[in-house]
Amino acid sequence: MTRIMGILNVTPDSFADGGRWMGVAAAVARAERMLAEGADIIDVGGESTRPGAAPVPEDEELRRVLPVVEALAHRCVVSVDTRKAAVARCCVDAGAQIINDVAGLLWTVAADHGVGWVVMHMQGQPQTMQHRPAYDDVVGEVGGYLLERAREARAAGVPQVWVDPGIGFGKNLDHNVELLRTLPGLAAHFPVLVGASRKSFIHQISPAPDPADRLPGSLVVAVHAVLGGVEILRVHDVAATVQAIRVAQALTPWPTGAGRRPTGSAGS
Ligand code: HH2
């Protein structure tokens, strides 16, 4: 079963929804809307990690996310999108059930608290990661990194682990396309999460300078990912994504999701 993770950025500067959901009331209303549209998880983030973004101090990040997590955790599954152990710990104590870890460092926090963990691949840091990203073998390197971390986390006792190739995080267009093409190979090893919603590689393929205009491309990636065996889609546009994947699944002659998958290889 594919699960939809609705994006809720309580930041002033996120690339697609920055400044729109600041404040607990606006954030909760946005979450309620995404849940009504079919979201299974709400991903709360207080630090933009778009290319060039400056780091946010821990106390400021907590000030942004903690009241929102507290308000939502009794209503739905909440994940916290953070690179900081202290932020992850506070949010888990407040009821978050998943740590969405874009730096791939927080599995011991997940193990200590018995919560799920998403390990995402990023080459470099947000401020500089798009300055000439380079790989000898992007699929092998990203897949190898993710599977090593995921196995380590499982061995440490993390109850649920998802791997995420980190679309747009230290990757050029060819890297992103290659990683998306080879999702079935990754999904054969571990449950996969993909976050491609409204990202700039869509604009590089077919010009749409405003992220709000990248819904068609985002839906194509969502369908492609689901047919490739991805378990969680991290998206801004929940209702449209739910409709797209339901229709794609109805038309597809093989079972999709975590069960059977079409063939493919991540080379990892
Ligand atoms: N992408 C973003 C943030 N968190 N988490 C995972 N697991 N995978 C992703 O691809 C991913 C992520 C960046 O997107 P967004 O949150 O919309 O923007 P910003 O970083 O500007 O807040």
Task: Tell me, in angstroms, the distance from the centre of ligand 1 to residue 253's CA.
Answer: 32
Report the pLDDT value the prediction gives residue 264, as an integer from 0 to 100: 41
Does 265 map to a domain? no
Report the pLDDT value the prediction gives residue 266, as an integer from 0 to 100: 39
Residue partners of 198: CB distance under 8 A and separation at least 6 = 15, 16, 211, 212, 214, 215, 218, 236, 237
Report the pLDDT value the prediction gives residue 255, as an integer from 0 to 100: 66
Cα(128)–Cα(23) distance, rounded to whole angstroms? 30
Does 259 map to a domain? no
> Considering its fold, how many domains does the chain have in total?
1
Task: Ligand 1: list residues with CB < 6 Å.
Answer: 7, 9, 11, 14-16, 45, 48-50, 81, 100, 102, 118, 120, 164, 166-167, 193, 195, 234
Does 175 map to a domain? yes
Report the pLDDT value the prediction gives residue 267, as an integer from 0 to 100: 36
CB atoms within 10 A of CB 153: 25
* pLDDT < 50: residue spans in the chain: 258-268
Which two three-digit tokens encode residue 86?
Answer: 């202290």
Alpha helix locations (H) across the chain?
24-37, 58-72, 85-93, 107-113, 138-156, 173-181, 183-187, 200-205, 215-227, 238-251
Does 257 map to a domain? no
Domain of residue 112: give its range.
Answer: 3-251
Report the pLDDT value the prediction gives residue 256, as an integer from 0 to 100: 63
Task: Tell me, in angstroms, the distance from the centre of ligand 1 to residue 167's CA.
Answer: 9
pTM of the model: 0.94
The best mutation among 102, 122, 231 to test binding of ligand 1, ranked by most ligand atoms within 8 Å of the C-beta, falls on 102
Is residue 234 flagged as an active site residue? Answer: yes
Does 258 map to a domain? no
Task: Tell me, in angstroms, the distance from the centre of ligand 1 to residue 82's CA.
Answer: 10
Report the pLDDT value the prediction gives residue 129, as an integer from 0 to 100: 87
Does 61 map to a domain? yes
Read off the pLDDT of residues 14-73 as tens digits, 9 standing for 90 and up.
999 888 998 999 999 999 999 999 999 999 999 999 988 989 999 999 999 999 999 999
Q: CATH number of the domain that 209 lies in?
A: 3.20.20.20
Cα(68)–Cα(64) distance, rounded to whole angstroms? 7
Share of the chain above pLDDT 70, in %: 94
Is residue 30 flagged as an active site residue? Answer: no
